[in-house]
Structure 1
Amino acid sequence: MENILGVITLISLMSALRMLRGGFPGDRPLIVLALVIMGLAGHSWYTGEPITGVLAVIVALVVGIIPPYLSMASQLARVRGQTRLSLWLETGAVILRPGAVRRLHFHVTYTVYLVQRGRLSISEGIERLAKAEPLLGDKGASTAVEGIFWLHAAKEDWGGLLDRFEGVAAKDSTAVTGLSFGALSLIVEAYAKTKREAPYGIGPVQIVEHMHLAADGKVAHTRSIGESGELPDAYIGRASVFCLAYLGGDPSGFLGRRSALRPLFTKAELAQFSDAKGRTYNEEDIERLQAELGVQKDLPSFLTSFRAPTPASASLAFISGVILLAVMATGSSIDPSYLLRCGGCLADRVVNAGEWWRLFTSMFLHAGPVHFLVNALFLIQVGNLAERLMGPWRFLAVYLFSGVIGSVTAVALGQPAVMVGASGAISGIFGAGAVMVFASRRRMPLRWVRRNMSAFTFTFLANLFLGLAIPMVSLSAHGGGFVAGILLTAILVPLTRIPKVLRDIGKVAVVVLWIAAFALGISGVRHSFNMDLSKLIPVRQAHATLTLERGQTASVTIAHPGTWAKISRKELPNSPPAWVGSQGQLFYIDAACGPMQVDIGDGQILHVEPGDSETLMELLKAANAEADGIEFLGGPNGWVLANRPEPDGAVMVQARKVFETGMLQLGFRFEAGTNELQLLDTLLEQSALDECVAR
């Protein structure tokens, strides 16, 4: 937790400084939010106070993760002309991240919505956009100008849109360089829908050609600030399709179900293209556009991954979601003991009990909804790109192989905790995607290759940094899966040139492996559910040194369930460690050195011999005669238990035993209804006071 808070403090400070240097008036609310997050995280990091730390982590995750997805979905909805959906998504993004960029995009989207609903005229909408433009200073001009074209599109005033563009083009032949990709796409769409002749030599064909050159960086161009890096290609795709329709070609052949262009259009638009007839006809232009669209329809995009997810990645995310719901309905998805019963991967069970099937089943378990959502979003995004490039069969082979190898790596490197999650498999797909982008560099546009390789590099470094900062992230599983995905993909890439019969055999082999893995996994989970908890959960021993009063020290052996995590109390430097699980915890360890002697009055001293639980129990009953609700019981091997139920149904257990060198006392808490209380006898049998001496 300390590392996480340090990272959040640093990132929040850097973000606030960057925005202050930018000098945009609209960034002030986000600067305040960043400073608040920094203050919460820094306070918790410095004082050790947990509540503010948890709040800082939650706020930072919400602000950092959710708005980019909302804005990406909003931009895609805007591309498709779905103004109302775009407004809802942009509203969520600006509430969670109220910076200048998102605020300007919100004002544009909201103004377009008001014009579309008839609450504002186009001229009133333009005045409203002019008031919002200063949020980003002079950098907001291109976004505001694009918004004006959206106002015309919202009212389907395509003629008015072209009048506005042609009025500028009549005075400046380079007018297209001052317009964003979104504005240019709308102009081409307007020409296609009005069938209007383009004057001044700046028509749909010339505009699409300019968009390609601008995207490749070969000509100067203005971009709308805050747009996704993939948005220009999305606008180029729409513009190219409308341009082909304008010329009299049929673009429907490039908009099939597996086409990367299809999500850029609404159903109504897709239905219209098959009947589109242009008023002009140029065979050379049509052939060039068809060649470009033939490449564009195969360009995977993160922007459209959620609207058109590929079948294998979507199916894997769906299966994991169903399993998460089943786990939550029958138990707890954040309880390591229950996750172990459901198929979680624990080194003790894999190596000592030979339960190798856990290497597979753990890939479909997640520690709560947040863990699942993060993995599912990343899988659908990266999986969309990788699966489109490598095909579903190789994708499934890499996913299975990477997930298992990731688990094997974590077990081999001594991962002590119960492991769940598809991170190893997804890391393998991430590596496979990078390999496929590199392998496709000669047949894909250079800008697409560069953009995706940059995205892969940045994401890799960000994940590495977070993995080093966050203890619960298994770098060994991520790293093992990542390397496995790269190696297997590098082997499979050349196999596309082998005979079809061999490729078919490979597909059958993948199906057989998946069926076998599921069969073994289901059988193993059934066996796990039928096991007694005391046999399922391994017990581990740890050694600790206690600093006692009167200058004494004690060496103890503490037994704890393998599903409990050790924590150190840094706010109390000399305090002993504790072990905490979801349903139980060992929260107290103490010892008293020397023979156990009690003055029972009249000058008589009672000696309690090592292991004498009966005498010790009588003394404890006498000392707690006035206490209510405590039940004293004899435990294993001379231990005495004092059980006290709590108002919330939990049970507090104080366990004491006299050893040769003194008395050891352990404090446990077990939540209401937990079966982990069954482990208590085993834990006590393997715990001991090894040595107790004066300094």
Structure 2
Amino acid sequence: MDLQTFLGVSAGSLSAVIIAQTFVTGAYRFPGSLRYLLAHAVVIAIAVAGFWLLPDYYGFLAAIALIAILVPGPLMNRANRELLAGHNERAAWFARAAALLHPTGQIRFTAKLFGALAEPTREARIAALERLRSGTMAGQDVVLELQVLRQKHDWQGIVDYLKRHPVPPGPDAIVFPIRALGETGQLEAMVATGARNRALFGSGDLSTLVLLAFSGRVTATDALVAARHDMPAWIKAFWQATALQAAGRGELAEPLLRGFAAATLAPAQREMLTARLDRPAQQAEGRLSLEAVAFLDTLETHVQRNVPLQRAGWRTAPLTYLLVLANCAMFGVEMLLGDSTSTENLFRLGGLWPNSVIADHEWWRLISAMFLHAGPEHLISNMLGLFLLGRMLENAIGSLRFGVIYLAGGLISMGGVFALMQAGIVEPDLLVGASGAIFALIGAIALRRLADFLATRHIADRQSLSLIAIVLVIQATIDLSLPQISFSAHGIGFVAGIALAWLLGLARASRR
């Protein structure tokens, strides 16, 4: 696959996945999402039409168009993470950077909002928020009013205000009614609000943390804050103490809060901790209906299963990093000994060729071929998939089971394609690459998600399954359209991953 094809296929496929996911997950909002979806449709149009009209440049054009659309997203995600972690000044900086690159009305408003929240004192924050009221669009005035009431700690005011105004869509806004109802002790209404908006709750967002903490779910709260490496210790202590108070274990919460309140903190941070000491969270036990408890049980189970799927560093996913390094090292050897796209060079280093396996009994090629790649584009696409999927899965199931799925899945994929070549179903060709092993990882993740969904029927698991299905359909279309890509290797690897995950107990473990 040449560079233009690689860029064009990658950019067009990613835009297609984003469009499909928007509709499948119900994230579409008219007219707010229209321009975003049309922009991704333009990327696909450039990738398709450019293939015929501008074959020497279409990949670059599609990639540049996609980057222009996507760059503000990671910046705004980082801004939200910094705000959640209590780093308001950093949040404002990332939001302003996103507004410079993508100056839409909503992003400009968010940058100004984060800037107001970065003011050092509560009075200054309230004054800055009040100044933003002029020129707000529909929905923005609601967010401003909620933020002003939050700064005033007027939780009942938020409850009363939301009775007259609808909550703006999105997981960031739903935290307002959840927190306000929890602070005022209206726990049944809080859980009912969560149940009505269950599609917005996941395993790492603030609304999930707040809901479970005020419901006295100590174990799940501890798991959530432990997964947030960017969250300051005093905020973790605040929500852990909230959960302990709601669980009727206030004697454990008080020393935790007093210890951090006595530490060197900003006045606003110390005020938040002392407020929890003065106004403890109300005990949840015995105050919730059976329906509310059932919803919380489902949400807690979902959290316990999916918190390990948060991003992991090398210490919790060492094998993934070793495999990436091994593949890159072999690619370096390819370059030292000749052209990485040379069939002769790849064969000499261990590429899978049917006649060599049968006639010369070189069965080791079934494994060595997994660590070779035909060109930088082939290597980059496979290593990106391994890096993103591998860390997540290895952290969730452990290095041993992860290694078995990756290596055995890749071996089965290579062996399956080899068998198809021998049977005359697939044309004989030199086979290299880690894509079969990577698709085995996708199969394992799909089985885990399916088991989660069957156990809890949680909407987030259904959305994950939908996304996996979309990716597979698009990948199959690409495989069948480009002769350089082995559809057989991908399909066999995916099925092998499902089978291996089943044998290793991922589905059974997921139901415990």
State the TM-score bracket (shorter-chain normalisation): 0.5 to 0.7
- Is it true that 1:490 corresponds to 2:496 in the alignment? no
**Distance (whole Å) between structure 1 residues aligned to residue 37 and residue 62 of structure 2:** 17
Q: How far apart are residue 485 of structure 1 and its match?
A: 1.3
- Is it true that 1:443 corresponds to 2:433 in the alignment? no
Tell me, yes or no, if the aligned pair for 2:405 and 2:497 is still in contact at 8 Å. yes
Tell me, yes or no, if the aligned pair for 2:370 and 2:432 is still in contact at 8 Å. yes
Q: How far apart are residue 324 of structure 1 and its match?
A: 4.9
Q: How far apart are residue 484 of structure 1 and its match?
A: 0.9
- Is it true that 1:255 corresponds to 2:240 in the alignment? no
Tell me, yes or no, if the aligned pair for 2:409 and 2:496 is still in contact at 8 Å. yes
- Counterpart position of 1:51: 56
Question: Where does 1:284-299 land on structure 2 (aligned, <5 Å)?
Answer: 284-285=286-287, 288=293, 291=297, 294-299=300-305
- Counterpart position of 1:281: 283
- Counterpart position of 1:462: 474
| Letter paired with 1:166 | Q
Q: Which residue of the other structure, out of 218, 235, 239, is the alignment partner of 2:210?
A: 239
- Is it true that 1:270 corresponds to 2:239 in the alignment? no
- Is it true that 1:315 corresponds to 2:318 in the alignment? yes
Q: How far apart are residue 328 of structure 1 and its match?
A: 6.1
| Letter paired with 1:484 | A
Count of aligned residue pairs for this structure pair: 449
Tell me, yes or no, if the aligned pair for 1:74 and 1:85 is still in contact at 8 Å. yes
- Is it true that 1:358 corresponds to 2:365 in the alignment? yes
- Is it true that 1:170 corresponds to 2:160 in the alignment? yes
Higher-Rg structure is 1
Tell me, yes or no, if the aligned pair for 2:209 and 2:221 is still in contact at 8 Å. no
Is the alpha carbon distance of 1:279 and 1:27 closer, same or farther for their aligned partners in structure 2, counting shifts above 3 Å?
A: closer
Is the alpha carbon distance of 1:479 and 1:28 closer, same or farther for their aligned partners in structure 2, counting shifts above 3 Å?
A: closer
| Letter paired with 2:404 | A
| Letter paired with 2:408 | F
Q: Which residue of the other structure, out of 176, 195, 209, is the alignment partner of 1:213?
A: 195
RMSD: 5.1
**Distance (whole Å) between structure 1 residues aligned to residue 497 and residue 181 of structure 2:** 47
Tell me, yes or no, if the aligned pair for 1:41 and 1:56 is still in contact at 8 Å. no
TM-score between both structures, scaled by the size of structure 1: 0.51
* Deviation digits for residues 325-355 of structure 1 (CA, Å, limit 9, x no counterpart): 5356656397134555555545555455443
Question: Where does 1:61-80 land on structure 2 (aligned, <5 Å)?
Answer: 62=67, 75-80=80-85
Tell me, yes or no, if the aligned pair for 1:74 and 1:87 is still in contact at 8 Å. yes
- Is it true that 1:183 corresponds to 2:173 in the alignment? yes
Is the alpha carbon distance of 1:327 and 1:260 closer, same or farther for their aligned partners in structure 2, counting shifts above 3 Å?
A: same
Is the alpha carbon distance of 1:331 and 1:252 closer, same or farther for their aligned partners in structure 2, counting shifts above 3 Å?
A: same
**Distance (whole Å) between structure 2 residues aligned to residue 33 and residue 495 of structure 1:** 36
Tell me, yes or no, if the aligned pair for 2:150 and 2:158 is still in contact at 8 Å. no
* Deviation digits for residues 494-525 of structure 1 (CA, Å, limit 9, x no counterpart): 9969xxxxxxxxxxxxxxxxxxxxxxxxxxxx
Q: Which one has the bigger helix percentage?
A: 2
Tell me, yes or no, if the aligned pair for 1:26 and 1:99 is still in contact at 8 Å. no
| Letter paired with 1:104 | Q
- Counterpart position of 1:512: none
* Deviation digits for residues 195-221 of structure 1 (CA, Å, limit 9, x no counterpart): xx62xxxx462454034312347xxxx
**Distance (whole Å) between structure 2 residues aligned to residue 29 and residue 292 of structure 1:** 33
Q: How far apart are residue 271 of structure 1 and its match?
A: 4.0
| Letter paired with 1:295 | T
Structure 2: gaps of 5 or more residues = 23-27, 242-255, 258-276
Tell me, yes or no, if the aligned pair for 2:9 and 2:47 is still in contact at 8 Å. no
TM-score between both structures, scaled by the size of structure 2: 0.66
SS for the counterpart of 1:170 is helix
- Counterpart position of 1:405: 412
Q: Which one has the bigger strand percentage?
A: 1
- Which has the higher relative contact order, 1 or 2, with Cα contacts under 8 A spaced 6 or more apart? 2
- Counterpart position of 1:112: 114
Identity of aligned residues (%): 21
Tell me, yes or no, if the aligned pair for 1:435 and 1:486 is still in contact at 8 Å. yes
| Letter paired with 1:53 | Y
**Distance (whole Å) between structure 2 residues aligned to residue 493 and residue 13 of structure 1:** 33
Q: How far apart are residue 43 of structure 1 and its match?
A: 4.8
**Distance (whole Å) between structure 2 residues aligned to residue 6 and residue 392 of structure 1:** 32
* Deviation digits for residues 230-252 of structure 1 (CA, Å, limit 9, x no counterpart): 669724421124425xxxx5836
Tell me, yes or no, if the aligned pair for 1:185 and 1:239 is still in contact at 8 Å. yes
Q: How far apart are residue 108 of structure 1 and its match?
A: 0.7
Q: How far apart are residue 118 of structure 1 and its match?
A: 5.7
Is the alpha carbon distance of 1:78 and 1:381 closer, same or farther for their aligned partners in structure 2, counting shifts above 3 Å?
A: farther
Tell me, yes or no, if the aligned pair for 1:435 and 1:489 is still in contact at 8 Å. yes
**Distance (whole Å) between structure 1 residues aligned to residue 13 and residue 119 of structure 2:** 44
Is the alpha carbon distance of 1:37 and 1:170 closer, same or farther for their aligned partners in structure 2, counting shifts above 3 Å?
A: closer
Question: Where does 1:486-525 land on structure 2 (aligned, <5 Å)?
Answer: 486-493=498-505
* Deviation digits for residues 260-290 of structure 1 (CA, Å, limit 9, x no counterpart): 8546844332244352562533433599598
Tell me, yes or no, if the aligned pair for 1:260 and 1:301 is still in contact at 8 Å. no
- Is it true that 1:477 corresponds to 2:461 in the alignment? no
SS for the counterpart of 2:156 is helix
Is the alpha carbon distance of 1:281 and 1:24 closer, same or farther for their aligned partners in structure 2, counting shifts above 3 Å?
A: closer
Q: Which residue of the other structure, out of 41, 46, 49, is the alignment partner of 1:42?
A: 49
Tell me, yes or no, if the aligned pair for 2:133 and 2:144 is still in contact at 8 Å. yes
Is the alpha carbon distance of 1:13 and 1:460 closer, same or farther for their aligned partners in structure 2, counting shifts above 3 Å?
A: closer
